[in-house]
Amino acid sequence: MKGCIRQQQACLLMSNTQAYRATEVASHNSASDCWLIIADKIYDVTTFLADHPGGQKAILPHCGRDATDKFDVLHDRRAIRKCAPEAQIGILHPADRKNKKVRKVAQSRILRFLMGYPSLRPGDR
C-alpha cells in the first residue's frame, strides 16, 4: 500500500497538481471560504455559492467536507465542470482517500445477505 501512495505522490509532483490534506479542507468551512471534496477532487466553491441553482443553503452544510455522496445523488459529475469550471483547485492527498472499492464490496455482501442470495465467493459459504 505504501508503494502505491508513493507512486501517486510522484505523479502529483510531475503534474503540478496541488494535493490537500483533509484537515486543510476542513478549515475552509464557511460561506466566505467554502471548499468541497467531490470524488477526491478539491473545489473552492465560495464564489459559486450565490449562483448555485439550489441556493447556497444546499452547499453550506458540506463546506470543508467530502460531499461526494450527496453530490452524486443530485448531480452528474460533469455538472461542476460545466457550472464552475475554475472551481477545482487540487486533489485530495492520497493518504486521505477512502478505499471506495472495499466499501462497495462490503455493501454488496450485506445486500446479498439481506436479500437471501448466496455469496459469489466460494470461501464465503
The CATH architecture to which 18-124 belongs is Roll (3.10)
The residues spanned by each domain of the chain are 18-124
Ranges under pLDDT 50 in the chain = 1-14, 102-103, 125
d(C-alpha 90, C-alpha 46), whole Å: 15
Is the separation of the CB atoms in 37 and 92 below 8 Å?
A: yes
d(C-alpha 99, C-alpha 79), whole Å: 24
d(C-alpha 25, C-alpha 115), whole Å: 39
